[in-house]
Amino acid sequence: MENNSVGTQASVIDTNMIFPIAEAFLSGIATPAFLWETAAGRIIKKNALAEEMFRRFNRESDFLGDFLQNWTKVRSFAYDTMWFEFGSADEAPLLVQVRNALIDAETDLMLSIVIHAQWADHRLSDQSLEGLNGLIRTASVTFLSRKDFIDNFETFLYRTTITLSLSSFNFIPAERIREYGLFEPAEKYAKNGLAYHVYAPFVDQFGRLNPGVLSNLQDLSERVPENFLVFPVPDGNDAIGWFVLVLYDNRNYSYDLLQSVMEVFSTFFQSLIDKIIMTKSLYQSDFENRLNIRIVDNVSEGIVITNQQFQIVYLNKIAAKIFGFTPKDIFGHQLEDLLVSNVSIRNYVSSSADNEESFIETPSVQYLHRRSGERFPCQIRFSKVRMNDENQYFIFVLSDITETEESRRKTEQLTHRAILGDFASMMAHEIRNPINNMKPWIQVIKSSAGKNDSMYNAACKIEDDCQRVSDIISNILNFSRPLKLNFELTDLGALIEVILERWKRDFASENIRCFFRKPEDFPKLYLDVKSIDQVLTNLIQNAVDAINHAGGILTLNLSTRPYGVSGRDIAVLSVSNTGPGIPDELIDHIFEPFITSKKNGNGWGLALTKRIIASHKGTIQVKSLTEGVVFEIFLPVSNGG
């Protein structure tokens, strides 16, 4: 009894000590480290260095799956070293080596400590030409336009730090670049730098340094460590700003190489300023004085204007809304950066725009892409306008026909379905009659033969096949009849929670972890509860069948996003699961009747699902991944009318 008592007391003390000890360890260790739950992927505590590492991905999240591509596999590597794959949608995985320690098996608490980043043993003397070329390419994209600067500047700073094997790399903007819209984002990144507090007191003195020359900060003050270097980015006799390089004390650096790289960065930066000035000048001189901007901005079509090098110098409010960009985001970009299509609009215009002052229409509807990546149909007309002997411009008039095209397609589908429905209904009745006539004769055969007789077994097989045909006929009849729906304002999130509660036992028996997320302000939708329940039940059943007793993850996510030119919100329900994907030969036909990837499926579930969603004026689409499937349902949000 005493031993049991002592053991129990020790266990309680150990558990209570986990968090204080872990917190002390995290705050004291000189490398990124964090404590998290392996079952839920929830980050519980992290030190300042880990905060900085996670901030590199520009996400505010305590869910490790938002950062790591392989977080679900970590549990099997407890007490071991492995590579974490930090990833994002638009970048290659960033490999970071960690040491894992499972410190509490009951609560699945894992401590992960960064012991070796991919770049940790890089030395400047070992830098390959390929690495420097990659860095220059990153810089060329970053300084392409004001928008690219804002979107990519933090990544540029981070990659420069890695490629040049620096302890820190930052940029302090000069006040004079405020007029170009570059000061605020650059200042924000500057103040986030780990070393900023060291040189912040001396920023006012940076103007004394020679522009275009890599200098030691000790030239300004002996209180700054000698491994702090500054490169003033010149623009005439003034500085655009200052690159600040912090070197590692124990590494050898080539100052000539660092000077050369900074000069290249400086050239790109100066080019960006020139582009902004040129674009602003073109916009003001050629269009504010020649076009009635108020009229152009209030027409019902999008208008984009380029110079003769196809560089965008103007777009109206409707064009900005169509593509999801503001005018200042897109000024200075090439036309093909905005009109992304399978057909080169630029080449077509170059070969067709000989007749000035007259509008020419592209021979067919073009499918372009919004900023969000959404593909949409658009009719394009264009004309060439000559302002003077030196300046000529192209005017593009864009008509987003998403709703027109969707209405036409749905009308065709309904007409086609009506014809098929009538035919299917007629055929179903004609087939069902002989099937029903066969059933009594099958019963006669079964009653006249013994259960061990081959004739009896044959009759049973015929009976099963007749039932199978009868079930298919019932599905056909149900599919061909109009749906009877009762729409009411519904909390979809609450409905999903009720449905998931029904599946809780099945998830437990199949070793499936289920995650459901919805925003707090998610709006209510007009839905037929019974049919939407059927849709979700079908998708969840498909996910369970795909996981097939192997254990896995099912994720449901609710969100809203703007849709179309009108900017109306649309509700999005994403249902994803791990497991095998859908074969390539089936993916384009998965919503058609009789098409299924299941061994014993009949191919009616997803066909009916699509029909129900269409009756709600929504759409459904599927993406097959290497290890899993994602269904996305788009439903209209009521505007109160």
CA distance to 467, 545, 602, 625, per residue, from 599 (Å): 19, 10, 9, 20
Query: Which of these ranges, 75-79, 133-137, 446-450, 513-517, has the smallest mean pLDDT?
Result: 75-79
pLDDT band at residue 231 using 50, 70 and 90 as cut-offs: very high
Asked if residue 94 is part of any domain, the answer here is: yes
Strands 360-361 vs 312-315: parallel, antiparallel or unpaired: unpaired
Query: CA–CA separation, 527 vs 571, rounded Å?
Result: 12
Is 228 found in the same domain as 81? no
Give me the helices (H) in 164-222, please: 183-192, 196-199
Query: Per-residue pLDDT averaged across 437-449, rounded?
Result: 82
Tell me which residue has tokens 């400590």: 113
Query: Do 294 and 280 share a structural domain?
Result: no
Position 559 in a domain = yes
Query: Are 559 and 632 contacting, i.e. CB atoms less than 8 angstroms apart?
Result: no
Asked if residue 503 is part of any domain, the answer here is yes
The answer to pTM > 0.75 is: no
Same domain, 264 and 245: yes
**Nearest-5° angle of CA 247, CA 250, CA 251?**
65
- Do residues 132 and 279 share a domain? yes
- Highest average pLDDT, of 159-168, 464-473, 513-522, 618-627, comes from 513-522
**Residue-level pLDDT at 171:** 93
Q: Given a cut of 90, is residue 556 above it in pLDDT?
A: yes
Q: pLDDT digit string (tens) for 139-183?
A: 888 888 888 888 888 888 888 888 887 888 999 999 888 878 888
Q: Are 391 and 363 in contact (CB under 8 A)?
A: no
Cα–Cα distance measured from residue 550 to residue 159, given in angstroms and rounded to the nearest whole number? 40
The whole-number pLDDT of residue 97 equals 75
In a domain, 194, yes or no: yes
Residue 207, token pair as written in the block: 């103007």
Considering the domain architecture, whether residues 177 and 194 belong to the same structural domain is answered as yes
- Residues 269 and 310 both lie in one domain: no
The string of pLDDT tens digits covering residues 4-31 is 433 333 334 354 566 777 777 887 777 7
Provide the pLDDT for residue 297. 61
CATH of the domain at 302: 3.30.450.20
Among 284, 314, 338, residue at a domain's last position: 284
Please tell me whether residues 498 and 594 are part of one structural domain: yes
Sign of the Cα pseudo-torsion (174, 247, 125, 160, in order): negative
As a whole number of angstroms, the distance between CA 127 and CA 314 comes to: 43
Q: Give residue 283's pLDDT.
A: 54
Task: For residue 554, give the amino acid letter.
Answer: L
Query: Is pLDDT above 60 for 121?
Result: no
Summarize pLDDT for 305-353 with one digit per residue, the tens.
Answer: 888 888 888 888 888 888 888 877 888 888 888 887 766 777 777 776 5
Question: What is the distance between the alpha carbons of residues 468 and 447, in angstroms, rounded to a whole number?
Answer: 22
Q: Is the pLDDT of residue 303 over 50?
A: yes
Residue 475 inside a domain? The answer is no
For the stretch 274-302, pLDDT in tens is: 888 776 655 555 555 555 555 566 667 88
- 393 and 417 co-located in one domain: no
* % of the chain with per-residue pLDDT over 90: 12
The reported pLDDT for the residue numbered 230 is: 92
Asked if the model's pLDDT at residue 488 lies above 70, the reply is yes
CA distances from 94 to 61, 292, 546, 551, 623 (A): 18, 50, 30, 28, 25
Query: Which of the given ranges, 88-92, 475-479, 499-503, has the highest pLDDT on average?
Result: 499-503
Domain of 24 in residue numbering reads as 15-117
Q: Is the pLDDT of residue 199 over 70?
A: yes
Residues 273 and 306 in one domain: no
Select the highest-mean-pLDDT range: 83-87, 308-312, 388-392: 308-312
Given the structure tokens 């299917």, which residue do they identify?
424
Q: Is the pLDDT of residue 55 over 90?
A: no
My answer on whether 445 and 582 are in the same domain is no
Residues 60 and 76 in one domain: yes
Greatest Cα pair distance, the chain, in angstroms, is 110
Q: Which of 228, 254, 284 is the last residue of a domain?
A: 284
* pLDDT value of position 414: 61
Count Cβ atoms below 10 Å from residue 418 Cβ, excluding itself. Answer: 12
Contact 171, 186 (CB under 8 A): yes
Given this model, what pLDDT does residue 482 score? 66
The pLDDT value recorded for residue 379 is 84
What's the chain's average pLDDT?
78
Question: Of the given ranges (337-341, 391-395, 419-423, 556-560), which has the lowest mean pLDDT?
Answer: 419-423
In a domain, 90, yes or no: yes
**239, 268, 284 — which closes off a domain?**
284
327: amino acid identity, one letter: P
Decide: 617 and 637 in contact? Cβ < 8 Å. Answer: no
Of 222, 220, 224, 262, the C-alpha closest to 240 is 262
Say if residue 96 is in the same domain as residue 237.
no
- In a domain, residue 480? The reply is no
Number of domains in the chain: 5
CATH of the domain at 499: 3.30.565.10
Q: Is residue 424 included in any domain, yes or no?
A: yes
Q: What is the pLDDT of residue 5?
A: 36
What is the residue whose two structure tokens read 């429905």?
421
